[in-house]
Each structure stands twice: as structure tokens, then as C-alpha cells.
Amino acid sequence: MKTENFSAVTEFFLVGLSRYPELRLSLFMLCLIMYLIILLGNSLLIIVSILDSRLHTPMYFFLGNLSFLDICYTSSFIPPMLIIFRSERKSISFLGCALQMVISLGLGCTECVLLAVMAYDRYVAICNPLRYPIIMNRVRNVHMAAWSWITGYMISLVQTTMAMVLPFCGNNVIDHLTCELLAILKLICSDITINVLIMRVGGIIILIIPLLSISN
């Protein structure tokens, strides 16, 4: 029988752009400015939509959800990335890497579903304007937003868990600035056919179906 040397991995080293140390400061400032702009713009939209009673409509409810999601999504990887830019030890713990993947992938999946929900909201508003207040009532809006988050995080949790429970070969160097699912799968020794299949199915659910819904 063929034997392979598996070893426990307790941390990962993120070495993305390590070959270009002269770009660290420029990238740090660029990412920081972009992050602050994202925080400011989305925060203002959320505050305005809450304070202005005229904006208490389904469209702005979903826009507020999308803005909050964008804040969370960028916060899941930009601050750690900024720390790596300014730190000499560019590592992240095994648990921290898994947590970052669950959060960032979950938020990315949720955004795709939420965009499809927003497209449905506009479809009802245009094609059924008289029934719009009945169809898109407050309870249904909350349910649709909640299921967008639940669906996104269920897919993210399944894919991340299936990857992190597999054996690693001892190689814990990731050529990225953040933990990404595809980068992690490259470090795994065992067969990842099931993981790739689940990723493709998840991609169809999260990308293709919402895209078709938005296009229609």
C-alpha cells in the first residue's frame, strides 16, 4: 500500500506579494483609503435609509442589507491584510484561517443571493405595482433577507469544513494575502474530487441561478 506523510498544520504563512517588498507601503495606503471610503459610503447609506422615513421601503431595506454586507465583507479580509503588510511575521493560525474563509466566503455567497432578491423586488414593483405592497410586505422582506444570509453561510460552512478536515502534507505556505478555499485545497494530500464537485454545485446555486434570475 502507498503511504503518505501527513502532518498536523497549526498555522499558515501568507506570502502573497512577498517578492515585492517595495510595494508594501503603497499597497497599504491604497487598501486603507479604499477601505475607509467603503466604510464611509455604506455607513452613510444605512444611516440615511434609517433616519428618513420616506426611504422605509423594501428597495432601501435590501440596499441597507447590501451595504451592511459590503462593510462586513471588506472587514473580513482588508484589516488582516493591512496587518500583514506592516508585520514581519506573515502568518495566521489554523482556526483563524478557517474562520476567515467561512466569513468571507459566506458573505460573498450571501451577496449573490441578495442581489437576486433585489432583482425580484424590482420585478414585482414594475410588473405588479398594484399588488406590490401586499407581495413585498415587511415580514416577507425580513424572511427573504434572512434566507439570503442563511443560504450563503450554509454553503460556506459546508465547503470550508469539508476542506479543513482533510489531511495536509505539511506545506503551509499560501501564495495569497488572505486564506482562500482554492489555495487551501492545493495544500491537501488526499483526493479532493468531492470538494471540487461541491464547489461546482455551490457555484451553480450561488452564481448561475441568481444571474439567470437577474437577467430575466
Domains of the chain: 11-215 (1.20.1070.10)
Q: How does pLDDT run across 151-174, given as a tens digit for each residue?
A: 999 999 999 999 888 888 767 888
> Cα dist. 63→20, 165, 172, 181 in Å?
38, 36, 39, 28
pLDDT at position 34 over 50: yes
Determine whether 24 is exposed, middle or buried from the number of CB atoms within 10 Å of its CB (0-12, 13-18, 19+): middle
Q: How confident is the model over 185-194, as a mean pLDDT?
A: 86
Contact 174, 187 (CB under 8 A): yes
Q: What angle do CA 4, 5, 10 make, to 5 degrees?
A: 135
- The pTM (predicted TM-score) of the whole model is 0.83
